[in-house]
């Protein structure tokens, strides 16, 4: 078997066998297949696509390229979630303890933020002492004893994906849906979860800008799940405007704590309730969305979700006084408002512009390895459909120096568009796939 023959076969729109995909990925991971050949193959995939079976074989081979967690002792009950990334998306901080409080073990390895897509681990590390570097043994023991784990992704998890992603990033092949789907699912499968809820973001602040593309990606990932013996649900959620109000690490953590205590933005609450319900369906706790929503809401109302979050923070070394007193979390020196010069109905709050502004003031990373400031961020004070008066606050910008505010003032101001006519707010979710 030769790599060049596999490239030619995909160039000519033929379907690759599992043996050919295994050969290609194993040789690329070991260094025997050079980057230039792998780049040629990735471009052929971008142009010609792959069948669901090919993508599943690619996913499973990449998952097997490194460590894999064996969670079989939990009897197929472990649930996980993955978001394709958005602005103000602090959902994991809420849904993980909600679902765990309802009796399903939640084991999740999360990444750090890059660009304007925030990372769950960065948010949790706003809490002094919180450990995000659990070993595999610690991960499994904690899941067994406490039913919830949120930790950083192991470097030995699907190393083939890491190597292929780095190559895609510099060869114009990031946009390939088969390669995106196999990248996401290989890490999820290597993490050992039996059931996976996928939150596929759509819109200005998402990787997928239009609904058709997002639906295609979701369909492929659901198909991979079925073919690999996992239970998968994918929701298509809006990301034209930020989720909730808070954008920035400590600010988002505070908003998540407030939500667990029963207060917070309506769109964030709806998102968390529905996503929790879908995870409860996946884990067999409920049979439909309505009963899942009721069970999730009960975990909010009786305080068990908040209690589970405190338990998570404490067992991973964090200072739980920050949960009871979130005002102790990192604070910026200045909070500067941006106000509207005119009145009307909010037509656009551009999530991409808000997200990029948060990176510019230090709340995110432009490059891997950049330091972030947990205290800084943006509070978004208006939503699409709101009626705004002249002088009303659009944003509160939390910064540690006024110069960084000056760099984003015009960008943020321009991110809000007003209409003379009433505007209909967007739905929280566009669709859900994989329920049947």
Q: What is the pLDDT of residue 352?
A: 94
Q: What is the pLDDT of residue 114?
A: 53
- Mean pLDDT, residues 348-375: 87
List 81, 187, 230, 352, catalytic entry: 187
| Least confident segment among 52-56, 110-114, 358-362 | 110-114
Give per-residue pLDDT as tens, 23-39.
999 999 999 999 999 99
Q: What is the pLDDT of residue 118?
A: 65
Verify whether residue 183 is a known catalytic residue: yes
* pLDDT more than 70, % of the chain: 97
List 80, 161, 274, 373, catalytic entry: 161
List 81, 82, 230, 381, catalytic entry: 82
What pTM, to 2 d.p., does this model score?
Answer: 0.91
List 163, 168, 381, 383, catalytic entry: 168
Domains in the chain with CATH codes? 3-49 (1.20.970.10), 72-324 (3.40.1030.10), 331-419 (3.90.1170.30)
Verify whether residue 2 is a known catalytic residue: no
Taking 60 as the threshold, does the pLDDT of residue 115 lie above it? no
Q: Are the C-beta atoms of 435 and 416 separated by less than 8 Å?
A: no
Give the single-character DSSP code of 155: T
Q: What is the pLDDT of residue 117?
A: 62
List 126, 183, 237, 276, catalytic entry: 183
Q: Whole-number mean pLDDT of the chain?
A: 92
- Mean pLDDT, residues 253-282: 96
| Least confident segment among 24-33, 69-78, 245-254 | 69-78
Q: How confident is the model at residue 77 (pLDDT cuts 50, 70, 90)?
A: confident
Taking 80 as the threshold, does the pLDDT of residue 136 lie above it? yes
Q: Are the C-beta atoms of 235 and 197 separated by less than 8 Å?
A: yes
Verify whether residue 161 is a known catalytic residue: yes
Question: Among candidates 114, 111, 93, which has minimal Cα distance to 358?
Answer: 114
For 40, 134, 241, 307, the CA distances from 130, given in Å and listed in that order, are: 43, 11, 30, 17
Q: What is the pLDDT of residue 361?
A: 94
Q: What is the pLDDT of residue 369?
A: 67
Verify whether residue 187 is a known catalytic residue: yes
Q: What is the pLDDT of residue 80?
A: 93
* Neighbouring residues of 199: CB distance < 8 A, sequence distance ≥ 6: 81, 82, 83, 84, 89, 91, 234, 235, 237, 275
Handedness of CA 139, 141, 144, 148 (dihedral sign): negative
């Amino acid at each position: 078997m030769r790599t060049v023959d596999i490239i030619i076969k995909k160039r000519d729109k033929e379907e690759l066998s599992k043996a050919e995909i295994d050969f290609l990925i194993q040789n690329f991971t070991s260094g025997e297949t050079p980057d230039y050949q792998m780049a040629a193959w990735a471009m052929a995939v971008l142009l010609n696509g792959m069948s669901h079976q090919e993508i599943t074989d690619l996913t499973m081979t990449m998952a097997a390229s490194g460590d894999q967690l064996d969670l079989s002792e939990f009897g197929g009950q472990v649930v996980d979630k993955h978001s394709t990334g958005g602005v103000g998306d602090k959902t994991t901080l809420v849904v993980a303890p909600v679902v765990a409080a309802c009796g399903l073990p939640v084991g999740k390895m999360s990444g750090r933020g890059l660009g304007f897509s925030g990372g769950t681990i960065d948010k949790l590390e706003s809490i002094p002492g919180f450990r995000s570097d659990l070993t595999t043994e610690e991960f499994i023991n904690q899941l067994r004893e406490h039913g919830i784990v949120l930790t950083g992704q192991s470097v030995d998890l699907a190393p083939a994906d890491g190597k292929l992603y780095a190559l895609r990033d510099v060869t114009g092949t990031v946009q390939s849906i088969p390669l995106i789907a196999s990248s996401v699912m290989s890490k999820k499968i290597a993490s050992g979860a039996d059931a996976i809820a996928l939150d596929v973001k759509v819109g200005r602040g998402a990787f997928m800008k239009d609904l058709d593309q997002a639906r295609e990606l979701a369909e492929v990932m659901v198909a991979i799940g079925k073919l690999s013996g996992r239970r998968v649900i994918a929701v298509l959620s809006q990301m034209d405007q930020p989720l909730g109000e808070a954008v920035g690490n400590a600010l988002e953590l505070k908003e998540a704590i407030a939500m667990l205590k029963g207060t917070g933005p309506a769109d964030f609450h709806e998102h968390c309730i529905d996503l929790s319900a879908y995870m409860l369906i996946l884990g067999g706790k409920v049979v439909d969305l309505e009963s899942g929503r009721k069970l999730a809401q009960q975990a909010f109302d009786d305080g068990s979700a908040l209690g589970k979050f405190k338990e998570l923070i404490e067992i991973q070394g964090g200072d739980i006084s920050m949960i009871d007193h979130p005002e102790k979390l990192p604070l910026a020196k200045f909070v500067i408002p941006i106000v509207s010069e005119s009145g009307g109905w909010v037509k656009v709050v551009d999530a991409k512009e808000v997200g990029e502004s948060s990176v510019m003031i230090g709340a995110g990373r432009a490059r891997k390895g950049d330091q972030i400031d947990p205290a800084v961020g943006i509070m978004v004070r208006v939503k699409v459909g709101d009626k705004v008066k002249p002088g009303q606050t659009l944003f509160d910008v939390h910064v540690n120096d006024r110069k960084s505010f000056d760099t984003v003032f015009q960008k943020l101001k321009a991110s809000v568009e007003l209409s003379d006519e009433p505007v209909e707010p967007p739905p929280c979710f566009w669709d859900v796939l994989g329920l049947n």
